[in-house]
Amino acid sequence: MPQEHVSQLDDYARVRDVLSYLTENWRDQPSLDVLAQRARMSPEGLQRLFQRWAGLTPKAFLQALTLDHARAMLMDRASILDTALDAGLSGPGRLHDLFVTHEGMPPGAYKERGAGLVISYGFHPSPFGVALVMLTAFGLCGLAFADEGREQAVLAEMKGRWPNARYTEDSAATAPVAARIFAPEHWRDGRPLRVTMIGTDFEIRVWETLLKIPAGKATTYGDIAAAVGSPKAARAVGAAVGRNPISFVVPCHRVIGKSGDLTGYHWGLTRKRAILGWEAGKLAG
């Protein structure tokens, strides 16, 4: 066997071992130095190798495992202190930092489905009809579309996702965000929008995968199912895509059927065609 192939197999074996170790021992929150010693590499070398093979750093993988467990505990009504300690964190402060960084909200608000959050909303014109834009202090939490006369029905549906939040109409606050969302010249300016999503672990993994689909590209429900580690769950992926709370920004419109058909869209198939055509035109321009 060529030496290059031997080296690749050795690298893969190291990464696989570290992944397995993290999956089994994440509650111990092992440091990069501990992982590097296990892999018989320098910390810097393991960091580069792991990121090349896994697409993220060992720390990011560990945080994802921790966050998945914490989400599940909080949704099962565990206390914040019990969740932090069971997740191997030193206390609620560490859990708070983890949630604010990755969820855009404190763990208490996540647990209580928006309790304690103030959500500002406003209706604004967009290239695809009236857009409902919803914001928390932590970022964009909702973007929906409404046909004429359906604004209040769409607002009621979106409120159901955050039933315990307090809502206030504030178009002055949401207008700059709405303007930026539909201005392609601001999409690559190094200032990404902060978004806040609440859902099941599976839904959030699906929505995070949607964020990776480039403009002008498309993927299938099956491809997303494979990407989230559930290759036989295309139907469940379809349901999660349909519940995406931040349409357009989290681009569920770029998901198509296995045959290439556009399939459904929560805000209407005509609107999906319009969005895809608009994006193609902007990229061509």
Range ranked top by mean pLDDT from 2-16, 162-176, 268-282: 162-176
Quick check: 2 pLDDT over 50? no
> Once rounded to an integer, what is the mean pLDDT over residues 127-150?
92
Is it the case that residue 197 has pLDDT exceeding 70? yes
Domains of the chain with bracketed CATH: 3-111 (1.10.10.60), 118-182 (3.30.160.70), 201-284 (1.10.10.10)
How far apart are the C-alpha atoms of 63 and 66, rounded to whole Å? 5
Answer yes or no: is pLDDT of 6 > 70: no
Please say if the pLDDT value at position 54 is more than 90. no
- In contact, 210 and 224? CB cutoff 8 Å: yes
Q: What is the pLDDT of residues 211-227, one digit of tens each?
A: 888 888 889 998 998 88
- Per-residue pLDDT band for 170 (boundaries 50, 70, 90) equals very high
pLDDT at 194: 82
How confident is the model over 164-189, as a mean pLDDT?
87
Catalytic residue among 240, 252, 255, 276: 252
Cα(30)–Cα(26) distance, integer angstroms? 7
Specify the higher pLDDT residue, 156 or 60: 156
The pLDDT value given to residue 274: 92
Here the contacts of 131-134 (C-beta below 8 Å, separation 24 or greater) are: 131/178, 131/181, 131/182, 132/158, 133/174, 133/177, 133/178, 133/181, 134/158, 134/174
Whole-model pTM? 0.64
In this prediction, residues 70-89 reach a mean pLDDT of 77
Per-residue pLDDT at 115 exceeds 80: no
**For the chain, what percent of residues have pLDDT higher than 70?**
85
Q: Is 252 a catalytic residue?
A: yes
